[in-house]
Amino acid sequence: MQEDFVVEKANGLKIVGTLYTPMTEEKLPLIIMLHGFGASCELLRRFSDYFNQAGYAFAVFDFCGGGPDVKSEGAFQDMTILTEIEDLSVVVEYFKNHPKIDADRIALLGESMGGLVACCYCAKHRDMVSALALWYPAFVIPHDAKKRYDEGITEAFGLDMNPDFDKIAKDIDVIEMIREYGKDILILHGDEDELVPLFYSEHVVEECEGITFHLMRGAGHGFSGENDKKATDYTIEFLKTHL
């Protein structure tokens, strides 16, 4: 079943998303998947069948100003890591009170920058979610943000950014953030990722406890084909014992 939803932030901007659920009268565990920088949730919808078949509700949404093609309100030039954390907070709260969702069994699944946003959120709201999974998380962002900030560059991938984006992102300490969360995390990362080098996930695995890591051989930044199935299988396996 598919259910579109709209939730409003304190500043009046509307967040648009979709909830996918298997046919059941019971309350369901939920996976909220978060899209990356300059993107939208559109390409993430394809994972709904995988997770529904495994008995999970699955939700996607567009961050406000998250990219040129998002359906949520807001301009890309107004977006920062902090605004996306605010968006996520509103969405999690919405599902905490949703009649189809088990409020005590909510997981976040972040891809690319969505993974970084999920980590930032969980570090401060560790009791709001029960599990955290990351696909090719963009842990490179603080490094890249500092470089752009020092050089006075205000665009990335051809997109003009909020001047505060790099000012905020450059000071994020990924290791400290994950340690503050303090719970088990799943990380999947491809060995052919050219946008976010594998090194950044490997460094987290070395420095932090409680990380379940799977190397996705032949995968770049984003999964496709057989790696779609492998990624969802690894994620479901992790969630069986953490959600």
Q: What is the pLDDT of residues 123-134, one digit of tens each?
A: 999 999 999 999
Establish how many alpha carbons lie within 13 A of residue 132's alpha carbon, considering only the half-sphere containing its beta carbon: 24
pLDDT tens, residue by residue, 46-74? 999 999 999 999 999 999 999 999 999 99
Eight-state DSSP code of residue 220:
B
Q: Residue 233 has which token pair? A: 């299988």
How close are the terminal C-alpha atoms of the chain, in Å? 22
- Give backbone dihedrals phi and psi of 17, rounded to 5 degrees, phi first: -155, -175
pLDDT digits (tens, 9 = 90+) for 132-166: 999 999 999 999 999 999 999 988 888 899 989 99
Residue 2 CA to residue 76 CA, distance in Å, equals 27
Task: Report the alpha-carbon distance of residue 230 to residue 42 in Å, rounded.
Answer: 20
Amino acid code (one letter) for 124: K
Mean pLDDT over residues 93-103, rounded? Answer: 97
Q: SS3 of 121, please?
A: helix
